[in-house]
Structure 1
Amino acid sequence: MPEIKIVPLGAGQEVGRSCILITIGGKNVMLDCGMHMGFNDERRFPDFSYITQKGKLDDFIDCVIISHFHLDHCGALPYMTEMIGYNGPIYMTIPTKAIVPVLLEDFRKVQVKYRSDPHIFTSNMIKDCMNKVKTVSLHEELMGDFNMTPDRHLGPAEIDRCRPDVLISESTYATTIRDSKRARERDFLKKVHDCINNGGKVLIPVFALGRAQELCILLESYWERMNLSIPIYVSKGMAEKAVDYYKLFVTWTSEKIKKTFVKRNMFDFKHVLPFDDSFADNPGPMVVFATPGMLHSGQSLKIFKKWATNEKNMVIMPGYCVQGTVGSKLIAGIRKLDLENGTTLDVKLSVEYMSFSAHADSKGIVQLIRNCDPRHVLFVHGEESKMEFLKQKVERMLSIPVLKPRNGQNVAVNTIPSIVIETSQELLKNPLSNFTHPLDPDKFQATLFVDRNLKSIELLRSDEVLKRMEWQPHPVEFIVEVGVCAGGINSLLEQIQKELVERGRFRCNFKSGSTDLIIDNEVILSVYSEKQLRMYTTVEYPETVSKDFHRLLTELLADLLGKPKELVVIDLLLDQKMAFGGSNDPCLIGVLRAVGKISPEENAHYTEKLCKFFHQQLDILQQRMYIRYLNMDGHNVGWNGVLRA
């Protein structure tokens, strides 16, 4: 069976240095090549020793795809191409190619100026690296970070129900559910306004692109509405260039901004000015956006040190901070900081953490997984403990197996081979007209059978397929669950036993206080919970379990539960013993329906039970099972279970 092999070279059970190597179809594709902002040595780069201990990477990597321009997704490119050695193609979008070298050069200057880092790549290395880049348009779905909530300058992440074999998702905020965006924005504006009204200065550490522009648009409109004159500054140079690029690529932003572009460019800020280092000592209130966003170096850390001892001032952390950075320590409540030069800093300014991060929260991640509907999920770019929490949540709610490999851990995902057959409508109509069995539109099940030479196509029933292929059917137990009133289970079983004996010719075995009622030694009614009753059968319907029994049980349960007969559904398929495939390729299609409405929380519980049941009966791996839920006529929730090899 074909498989996809995945190994994280970075971002495996950690945040930062995103770098995922995927082997698919005989090709090795690297997704992103980022940098870890919490380290200053070689640990900040992906660990390419998992690929090869020496030599260039060309023999091991066919291409590199960069999702976007954040440094934790592209910052290690010059290190990989010029210092390790890679000459293959690198793919990214046009705006990403334009912005990446600007960010890399800014990072290089900060490392040389503030950290005197002799091992960082050079400007020429950045240029040589970018010469290997090939631009692509937005046709393929690849997201490094995503957010299901729209911004002022970007729309929400969207993805169709494409049902991939594996979805690789970031999990930065795996345990967080954020407040509404509007409430966060109101809180942000109030805190900024209160601080400057009190004569304080507000520092907002940001990375040059993304959050900076989003919050500048927010403050610009608020300043205009409130007729404020307090200066708003952005880091001179880097952030200014960033705004220029946003003006240039305005057609890649949200529909709202593209529509207003006809009248004016939303990035032409009236109240936002470039910041000079000398402005930090100016008296009076001001708002400053300074890079980088985690206060680990650069201008933002320099300004913070100057303002930290004044309790009138405020620092607002708008995004995620890697552990070990000054930003993460402030968010954790530490107010006495040990600096690199051996001094300590007593922090007296107020610290606010408001997540305007580009990363999705827990709800957004689950929403994307539900929309995408993959067969497997693989989490990266998150802390291990938070990954585990979300892993259990996804497996419980959506019944999708979740992987969370550490760096260097190779995982393999089995894929379902698909064969595309191109044929004419006439050829399809011909075997359909020759189908000998009457077609029941409600229970029509058949297999399109194609011979090895593609000379004929036949439409066959499942039993005919089994005979043609000389396969043996697998016995299958089906479960039908019907809702019962709490507190009346034992009495209900006693009533069912009494009615069955009186109305029909059934032998029933039931002891008072028991949870099982055995009928004709072939059917078992069993208590499942305070609200559920199960029916088991291992015989083929309708030969042994007669239609009279089916009708009788339906009427009886409807009478005892006080429900219309239409809402008591016991659906035993005619082919319930059939399974296509040999013992190594089990495949089953079945339908189970439950009476009444079932909440989403119950879905996950039922799914888990069903998967375990089929695994026990057929020895089918749970990873090969897919169960989805259908709303039937607005009254019932049903299972449509498809087990695929």
Structure 2
Amino acid sequence: MSDSVTLSVTMLGAGQEVGRSCCVLQYRGKTVVCDTGVHPAYSGMASLPFIDDLDWSTVDCILITHFHLDHAAALTYITEKTNFKEGKGKVYMTHPTKAVHKFMMQDFARMSSSTSDALFSPMDMEMSIVSIIPVSVHQLINVCPGVSFTPYHAGHVLGACMFLIDIAGLKILYTGDYSREEDRHLVKAELPPIRPDVLIVESTYGVHSLEARDEKEGRFTNLVHSIIRRGGHVLLPAFALGRAQELLLILDEYWKKHPELHNVPIYYASNLAKKCMAVYQTYIHTMNSNIRTRFAKRDNPFVFKHISNVPQTRGWEKKIAEGPPCVVLASPGFMQVGPSRELFELWAPDARNGLIITGYSIEGTLARDIMTEPEEFTSLKGNTIPRKISVDTISFSAHVDYAQNSDFIQSVKAQHVVLVHGEQTNMGRLRAAMTSKYKERDEDVKIHTPRNLETLKLSFRGERVAKAIGTLAEKPPQPNDVLSGLLVAKDYSYTLLDPRDLRDFTGLSTCIVTQRQRIVIGVGWELVRWHLEGMYGKVEEGLDNDGVPTMRVMGVLDVKQTQEHELNLEWESSASNDMIADSTLALITGIDKSPASVKLTSSPHRHSHSESNHVHPHADPVGDASSVTRIQRLAMFLEAHFGEVQFHMPDEDEAEQDDEDEEEGPGGGRAEKEESLLVELDEAVATINLRSLTVTSTHELLRKRVEAVLDMALTTVSSLSESFTSGIPVAPAEVESGGDAGSKEKILSTDADAPPDSNDDNNGNTSSRIEEVGPVGNEEGEKKEDGGVGGSDAAVVAMDTTEAPPKEGVSELAAASAPAPASSTKDDQAGKTASEGAPDATMSDAAEGETQPPQQQKRRSSDSDGGTDSDDGAELEVHD
């Protein structure tokens, strides 16, 4: 099974920009949000993602990749200030991320509370933290039916992860910020083992390449050492958590190797970093093998020997600025506010001092502006300060560069790649470079760069696979086998079960609901039957097990005459059966108002079963005329598509030869020529066998085309019952023998235990009843597969089973369309018709049985088979 479905990707932030990451995924009625950050260059409401464009009560889950403010700081506002809690949404992040996130948000709330545009209160933050569900890396989480995810290591910072999300079978990998290079304490980002359909990946550095870790560490320590030698102070702006720990590890190791620097202090000016250092020591097991090995030897790398925390008392910045040379690692990394900004304003006028930008700087921040080395800048108080401090950039940002990012994108092998978290220029260059690579490799991979609020719609031909389990899976299926059972859908997965296994695998059980409708009418039983036959064609009639007169419509609905003017409609409830019942009910309730009923009952009519040649003047044509009419309609239908159609009838000699072959039995063979229609098109000829309704032609395309038109023609010229009932006609011999002991179905037939004449009542009328018999087929108990008559095919071949049997070796259809043999008489032809369609006519098998001995009934089934095996389209007699 497959259908076209659409994934919607909407960036509420980080679309062609860096900051306020927020990605909304919507698929099959499910909504997943990845990251909810703020923009560091703005404050207050302006820093939030465009949250008004989403109904947050419809969100199934929010996934936070890591604790940085540009990925997680808007979470509290969304959970406490929007309608998120009105829905059933949940918030997930890893254990280390939740532990650090708490301290980060406490610090963020403290900093924001000092301004008039605070987004939330400390109480809101505490309420938000409580609702977060921590998860472990590689743990499969089922959020709700149809939504699940698995976190994988992303590097970048402690606890950072990428999410492999599964929404109704569609797999999406959202990386967040990630690093493919192992540093001093973190593992590198993993490549998930499952190929996703969509990859949403950062593009922070675009096509830039970063220097190797050993090179940049060497350049960094040499630069710090040179600034110390010239008597200056070194300022390292960095976020309190993440790269700060990496820099501290590098400096502590360098100081250990250089005794001459032991008298130069290293400070980290962040109370938050001090608090979170305990978290780093707690989650040693999530770090790389180097850190775990040192910790196993009782050497905790985060207990620094040459680094101390600055006691942030009043005026501490000036004391450090006026003191001897030192190294200070201060937050935040963008130097918008906080200790890093205050120290920079104090140290900027002195040329001995040095500033080293160690991470990625977002556009619009002081760190980004100062990289251009302006001669002066504006302080927080508004005055102008000259810049003489040296400015250097050595990126320790744990983001991938072009080489790492392009290699990861190609390794994932997603059909669609969505670039986020990058400035427009960098993102555009990366897209061009990746497109060129895929073009060289002749791979059709779509790369997208959506803007904020620009919904990206990706269409997929989602294949849905149904797994067969239980009894159906015991035997391996062979090619072209048809497997049938109950299709059970749960959480967008599909299972095929045998009905007997339903309780074992699902806890459910099956039942049959039989519906009954009572109707009071003002017309007779025979008029009801006439209307039913006019609408549905053949209607089976007889007595049920309680002896109540019953007519069966289309093999599923029983109309019972419980009293003279009272009917009961009974059927097993299903979608199709209910429609048949509704239409039958509408037909019966409208009989007394029908113009046809008025016309039929406006003058006396005589209806008697004793007059077998009586035909009602308003009844549908039966017998030869009915068959000829249907053949003519079939020919007209074919002529409308192919032009002139020729009717081919074997000559008398061939017919007689056929008769002789029939008498010889199954081994006698048959003439190759049979009654058929010939279709000619562009010198190609197709032959339609009117016995088996099969098409033969040396031209394969013409044969397929004629078969398609023939199927439409059969449906068009058939009655409802003939078009929609597909049971194989019943052979009297099979009824007598009891058939197979397997599954049973109800049919209308004569009493199998009594001779044909024993059903006659005193008035010479016949009756029938409903009984259960086994599955039926030809005389060998086999079902016809290739040439059998069933479904709409029976609409033409099994025209009227109340006629006298046709001449041996000739089908009913051919007998009706061919000239009567010389030996036939008018009385014989009259005896072939039954009063089908007349209001008082009774269509029972007992009536047919009293005119034919049992041997002839059995022989008639054999005659319909034509004395051949199951490949020549045998026809079995239908019991009406």
- Superposed pair shares fold, TM > 0.5: yes
Query: How is 1:360-371 mapped onto 2 (pairs within 5 angstroms)?
Result: 360-371=400-411
* Superposition deviation, residue 106 in structure 1: 1.1
CA-to-partner distance for each residue in 1:211-268, whole Å, 9 max, x for gaps? Answer: 0000111111111011221111012411111222111111111122112111211111
Q: Name 1:86's counterpart in structure 2.
A: 84
- Is the radius of gyration larger for structure 1 or structure 2? 2
Query: How is 1:116-265 mapped onto 2 (pairs within 5 angstroms)?
Result: 116-139=115-138, 140-141=150-151, 142=163, 143-160=175-192, 162-227=194-259, 228-229=261-262, 230-263=264-297, 264-265=299-300
Matched, 1:408 2:453: yes
Query: How is 1:470-481 mapped onto 2 (pairs within 5 angstroms)?
Result: none
Q: Distance in 2 between matches of 1:235 and 1:255?
A: 29
* Superposition deviation, residue 121 in structure 1: 1.6
SS at match of 2:77: helix
Q: Name 2:17's counterpart in structure 1.
A: 14
Q: Distance in 2 between matches of 1:449 and 1:217?
A: 66
The answer for unaligned runs of 5 or more in structure 2 is 139-149, 152-162, 164-174, 486-495, 499-880
Q: Name 1:335's counterpart in structure 2.
A: 375
Matched, 1:417 2:420: no
Q: Name 2:105's counterpart in structure 1.
A: 104
Q: Distance in 2 between matches of 1:371 and 1:136?
A: 26
1:337·1:344 contact (CA, 8 Å) conserved in 2? yes
* Superposition deviation, residue 2 in structure 1: 2.1
SS at match of 1:292: coil
Q: Distance in 1 between matches of 2:252 and 2:465?
A: 54
2:321·2:347 contact (CA, 8 Å) conserved in 1? no
Structure 1 residues 328, 455: CA separation in 2 closer, same or farther (over 3 Å shift)?
closer
Structure 1 runs (4+) greater than 3 angstroms displaced: 418-432, 448-456
2:379·2:385 contact (CA, 8 Å) conserved in 1? yes
Which 10-residue stretch deviates more, 21-30 or 333-342? 333-342
Matched, 1:326 2:362: no
* Superposition deviation, residue 286 in structure 1: 0.6
Structure 1 residues 316, 420: CA separation in 2 closer, same or farther (over 3 Å shift)?
same
Q: Distance in 2 between matches of 1:41 and 1:427?
A: 61
Query: How is 1:424-573 mapped onto 2 (pairs within 5 angstroms)?
Result: none
What is the identity, as a one-letter code, of the residue corresponding to 1:49? Answer: D
2:240·2:270 contact (CA, 8 Å) conserved in 1? no
Identity over the aligned pairs, expressed in percent? 34
Q: Name 2:488's counterpart in structure 1.
A: none
1:160·1:371 contact (CA, 8 Å) conserved in 2? no
* Superposition deviation, residue 34 in structure 1: 0.3
2:200·2:418 contact (CA, 8 Å) conserved in 1? yes
Q: Pick from 391, 394, 401 the counterpart of residue 431 of structure 2.
A: 391
What is the identity, as a one-letter code, of the residue corresponding to 1:83? Answer: K
CA-to-partner distance for each residue in 1:352-400, whole Å, 9 max, x for gaps? Answer: 1111102111111111111211110001111112111111111221342
* Superposition deviation, residue 92 in structure 1: 0.7
Q: Name 1:65's counterpart in structure 2.
A: 63
CA-to-partner distance for each residue in 1:272-298, whole Å, 9 max, x for gaps? Answer: 100134242342111111010010111
Matched, 1:42 2:82: no
What is the identity, as a one-letter code, of the residue corresponding to 1:389? Answer: R
Q: Distance in 2 between matches of 1:331 and 1:237?
A: 27
SS at match of 1:417: strand
1:337·1:347 contact (CA, 8 Å) conserved in 2? yes
The answer for unaligned runs of 5 or more in structure 1 is 436-447, 457-645
* Superposition deviation, residue 160 in structure 1: 3.3
SS at match of 1:204: strand
Q: Distance in 2 between matches of 1:348 and 1:68?
A: 36
Structure 1 residues 310, 138: CA separation in 2 closer, same or farther (over 3 Å shift)?
same
SS at match of 1:415: strand
Q: Distance in 1 between matches of 2:361 and 2:6?
A: 36
Aligned-CA RMSD value: 2.3
1:162·1:373 contact (CA, 8 Å) conserved in 2? no
Q: Distance in 1 between matches of 2:464 and 2:341?
A: 57
Q: Name 1:528's counterpart in structure 2.
A: none
Q: Name 2:825's counterpart in structure 1.
A: none
Q: Distance in 2 between matches of 1:275 and 1:450?
A: 77
2:468·2:497 contact (CA, 8 Å) conserved in 1? no
Q: Distance in 2 between matches of 1:393 and 1:429?
A: 52
* Superposition deviation, residue 421 in structure 1: 5.0
Q: Distance in 2 between matches of 1:219 and 1:208?
A: 16
SS at match of 1:8: strand
* Superposition deviation, residue 147 in structure 1: 0.7
Q: Distance in 1 between matches of 2:116 and 2:282?
A: 33
Q: Which has the higher contact order (CA 8 A, sep 6+)?
A: 1
Structure 1 residues 62, 314: CA separation in 2 closer, same or farther (over 3 Å shift)?
same
Query: How is 1:288-303 mapped onto 2 (pairs within 5 angstroms)?
Result: 288-303=328-343
Q: Distance in 1 between matches of 2:395 and 2:48?
A: 26
1:205·1:295 contact (CA, 8 Å) conserved in 2? yes
Structure 1 residues 236, 9: CA separation in 2 closer, same or farther (over 3 Å shift)?
closer
1:38·1:44 contact (CA, 8 Å) conserved in 2? yes
* Superposition deviation, residue 406 in structure 1: 0.8
Q: Name 1:304's counterpart in structure 2.
A: 344
* Superposition deviation, residue 449 in structure 1: 7.7
Q: Distance in 1 between matches of 2:484 and 2:447?
A: 37
1:110·1:297 contact (CA, 8 Å) conserved in 2? no
Structure 1 residues 236, 304: CA separation in 2 closer, same or farther (over 3 Å shift)?
same
SS at match of 2:125: helix
Aligned length: 435
What is the identity, as a one-letter code, of the residue corresponding to 2:333? Answer: G
Q: Name 1:544's counterpart in structure 2.
A: none
TM-score of the superposed pair, with normalisation by structure 2: 0.48
What is the identity, as a one-letter code, of the residue corresponding to 2:70? Answer: D
* Superposition deviation, residue 117 in structure 1: 3.4
Q: Distance in 2 between matches of 1:381 and 1:304?
A: 28
Structure 1 residues 236, 382: CA separation in 2 closer, same or farther (over 3 Å shift)?
closer
2:270·2:331 contact (CA, 8 Å) conserved in 1? no
* Superposition deviation, residue 450 in structure 1: 6.3
Matched, 1:269 2:301: no
2:349·2:388 contact (CA, 8 Å) conserved in 1? yes
